[in-house]
Structure 1
Amino acid sequence: MTVQTTLVLGANTVIAQPQYSVVFSTAKPLTFGQQLGLIWLPLDEHRKAACSPAYLHETKDWAKLNTVDNPNEWQLDLPQLFDSQGVSFLQLIAYTYHEPSLNLPAVELDSISLKLNNSAISYDFKATERHVKAAIILEIYQRNGQYKCRALGESSTQGLASLEHRLQVSLDMRSPNTHALIQDAQRQQNQPHNESRPPRHAQTGETWTGTAFAIDQYHLLTCYHVIESAAMIGIRQQGQPDREAQVVLSDIGSDSAIIKVSEPLPNYLPLAQQCSDNLGETVTTLGFPLSGLSSQLQVTQGCISGLTGLSDDIRYMQFTAPIQPGSSGSPLLLPTGEVIGMVTSSFVHEHAQNMNYAVKFQLLSALLASAGISLDDLSDGSLANTGALTTPQLSKKSRSALWLVGCEG
């Protein structure tokens, strides 16, 4: 006989099954995936983001929708997340979509009912104030070899923005309509910003190139679309032997990937460690664009021209340093030599110039944490610097950490 457990705010209970189902419903006629969003946010022991979250529009291997047409029901694989990705807590956030360009009444969170593990556990979250836009309603954790869940009710009238600041993580709060528009625009543009990108199923023997930069003695960061569909990956640097690389971890959502080599790399770059308003800050890129014309490292300079990407995508920042096909995976460097982002794309339009985008360092840090690569080990990197450098100094100091990536289908 199954014991029924009804949670109240602050209460916790044991989860008997590590493969865990969660079903949602609302008292008001609001629909998940249309007015309401859900985020499964993995956190480390310090309650900071441990790896990329799962969204309704971007599920993960450890958090999947049972059916595409029913975003109310999820299936969680807790061992895959907790045991292999260094996660200590998994928080569930419900939030309202907001499209400021549409003149629509504001949607608010009122109450959400959860049924867990085939209704063995239930929890009814109720907002205790008006105009709630986001709320942390559940937390899953591990104690003494058991998984447990705790009923929470931390709400915000400011939406995900207030949670971003506290957790120091970028969260994607855009509505499904925005995602559809972006995908349509990318298809129409045929992704001209990633002209070095191969088809999803690359032909045998087909080759293409990109850029990667070392972040410790054995690991490099590059773009997901650079290594996608590659049967073989190699890296090259003038004066160094060619090396074969293997993919450690990749994330299509942030267009990022970690690759690894077996022999130590000569130098690596430090990632930025804290958030600040860098709008207008000078940035430098180093990479291998148009490698068919030249395999020499090229340097360009510009500034951070926007703190979000296309359609206000908070995972990216906009910059003006010129880039070309093959620049994907190049580091975006502050004058101190710290990596504040990784070049991923550009928007090509007859009326737009230098609308280039880089994935933010916070997402790169989360990807490294997911792979078990400690940021503490990277903070004292051999190329770390405390003062501002001139562009020639920055180029000379950083070039030994830059590698041309060659892929074969």
Structure 2
Amino acid sequence: MRDLVAGERAGLSDAISIGVDEAAPLALIALDAMRAASPTFPPMDATSREMRPSAHFVENGRLELRLDLLPTSVERLLLVAYDTGSRALRRRITTSAGDLRFTVDLSGREDAAVILVEIYRHRGEWRLAANGQGFSSGLVAVAAAHGVDLEWARRLGGTETQATGRPAPRVGAISSGSGVAVDHNHVLSNAHVVEDGGPISLLVGGRALPADLVFTDQRNDLALLRVDAVLPSVALFRSKLDLHLGEDVMVLGFPLQGLLGSGPQASTGNIAALCGMGNDSTVFQFTAPIASGNSGGPILDTAGRLIGLVSSSLNLDRIRDAGANAQNINFAIKGAVIRSFLDAFGLEPQTSDKDDPLGGAAIARQMRDAIFRITCAC
């Protein structure tokens, strides 16, 4: 048996049987060449036991496939395990196809649906890719991400669910952002992430912990949160307050929760300007791609030290309406401003003057336990 890791690929024969050692329901979603839902092969699920010449589920959720009989417009298949609310996903799910095996570990994650494997055409042959991407909002989020009929997903999975199996709050009822530990009891984020004043929670080690709002600085878009639990790791700040035009940076955070995976996401870019709109000297401009949910996440230099906090992006729709074009114009609060904010509360962050580059993967590993997803009920 060959064990695959996430992202690894292997060839398949035209006839394949796929088994999953998981009691949760399974669904099969077909995509076309544009990675959108295929109109010639509607999604199917294990509970209905629908029989098609090219695909059908049998007892114990095993999927029997005749890939050579699929419609020619189908370029990719996604095998998804999902939580119905009454039946939650287990911590570990193993998928086997012939002599291939892939195990996804959901420990410490809030996923209510997970893409186990992908099967796709490549140069006239079929291949399998180990996936493991999770969706905290359940099968509905998987369907929405690929243009699948949402009513089909809702019928199978009920309403969008959290990993607890409870219905997720209605859209707009929860704001989500990112935060970074500045000591073992305090987390820094944006004021606009927690501005609605509802209950705040941090996802720490797979558990949602309540957090108290210590103070917000609306002018500089900063918020300080406190938790009773001891946080596992804290960020190191750059000891010098200087920034350099063009220097490489990495952004860590939790963008588009419920659509992308529930774990942290990393992106890279550089410092594009040392000031913001109207020469605002409290912020700098950077090019690393961000999305909703990145707000409050740390910006790190090549040595993994915190030099800023994600704050905002330029409104590109407004720019286009004015007849101009722009991409990746994002703004971050400078480290000097952050340290002045913390100093007002007697908090002195840990600093480092080591300039040795670590590499992106090492930085992400070093910071993984110091960054947190923040949710605030409106």
CA distance in 2, matches of 1:314, 1:379: 22
Contact kept? 2:241, 2:335, Cα under 8 Å: no
Shift of 1:400: 0.8
Unpaired segments ≥5 residues, structure 2: 1-169
CA distance in 2, matches of 1:327, 1:277: 21
Q: Is residue 379 from structure 1 mapped to residue 345 from structure 2 by the alignment?
A: no
Q: Is residue 360 from structure 1 mapped to residue 342 from structure 2 by the alignment?
A: no
**Residue deviations 1:149-170, cap 9 Å, x none?**
xxxxxxxxxxxxxxxxxxxxxx
Q: Is residue 223 from structure 1 mapped to residue 195 from structure 2 by the alignment?
A: no
**Residue deviations 1:192-225, cap 9 Å, x none?**
xxxxxxxxxxx99921100001011001110000
Shift of 1:292: 2.2
Q: 2:230 is matched with which residue?
A: 264
Shift of 1:327: 0.5
Q: 2:364 is matched with which residue?
A: 395
Contact kept? 1:268, 1:401, Cα under 8 Å: yes
Question: What is the SS of the residue equivalent to 1:389?
Answer: coil
Question: What is the SS of the residue equivalent to 2:193?
Answer: helix
CA distance in 2, matches of 1:212, 1:291: 14
- Residue type of the partner of 1:308? C
- Counterparts in 2 of 1:44-193, with a 5 A limit? none
Contact kept? 1:235, 1:403, Cα under 8 Å: yes
CA distance in 2, matches of 1:271, 1:379: 4
User: CA separation of 1:298/1:385 partners in 2, compared to 1, >3 Å: closer, same or farther?
Assistant: farther
User: CA separation of 1:248/1:358 partners in 2, compared to 1, >3 Å: closer, same or farther?
Assistant: same
Question: What is the SS of the residue equivalent to 1:311?
Answer: helix
Question: What is the SS of the residue equivalent to 1:242?
Answer: strand
Q: 1:300 is matched with which residue?
A: 267
User: CA separation of 1:385/1:218 partners in 2, compared to 1, >3 Å: closer, same or farther?
Assistant: farther
Shift of 1:240: 3.8
- Normalised by the length of structure 1, the TM-score is 0.47
CA distance in 2, matches of 1:291, 1:386: 33
CA distance in 2, matches of 1:362, 1:243: 29
Shift of 1:234: 0.2
CA distance in 2, matches of 1:286, 1:215: 15
CA distance in 1, matches of 2:264, 2:315: 23
User: CA separation of 1:379/1:401 partners in 2, compared to 1, >3 Å: closer, same or farther?
Assistant: same
Q: 1:249 is matched with which residue?
A: 215
CA distance in 1, matches of 2:368, 2:238: 18
Shift of 1:295: 1.6
Shift of 1:242: 1.9
CA distance in 2, matches of 1:277, 1:366: 16
CA distance in 2, matches of 1:406, 1:271: 25
Q: Is residue 207 from structure 1 mapped to residue 174 from structure 2 by the alignment?
A: yes
CA distance in 1, matches of 2:171, 2:373: 21
CA distance in 2, matches of 1:339, 1:261: 21
CA distance in 1, matches of 2:171, 2:255: 23
Instruction: Choose the corresponding residue for 1:286, options 252, 265, 288.
Output: 252
CA distance in 1, matches of 2:252, 2:171: 30
CA distance in 2, matches of 1:352, 1:312: 18
**How many matched pairs?**
201
Instruction: Choose the corresponding residue for 2:286, options 319, 332, 344.
Output: 319
Shift of 1:341: 0.4
User: CA separation of 1:236/1:216 partners in 2, compared to 1, >3 Å: closer, same or farther?
Assistant: same
- Residue type of the partner of 1:357? F
- Residue type of the partner of 1:398? M
- Normalised by the length of structure 2, the TM-score is 0.51
Shift of 1:385: 5.5
Q: Is residue 370 from structure 1 mapped to residue 370 from structure 2 by the alignment?
A: no
CA distance in 2, matches of 1:291, 1:230: 20
- Residue type of the partner of 1:309? G
CA distance in 1, matches of 2:238, 2:210: 28
CA distance in 1, matches of 2:362, 2:254: 19
Contact kept? 1:249, 1:371, Cα under 8 Å: no
CA distance in 1, matches of 2:248, 2:172: 40
CA distance in 2, matches of 1:204, 1:283: 32
CA distance in 2, matches of 1:386, 1:273: 10
**Residue deviations 1:202-261, cap 9 Å, x none?**
x99921100001011001110000010222000014x34221111112100110111010
The worse-fitting range, judged by mean Cα deviation, of 228-237 and 356-365 is 228-237
CA RMSD, 1 decimal: 1.9
- Residue type of the partner of 1:339? L
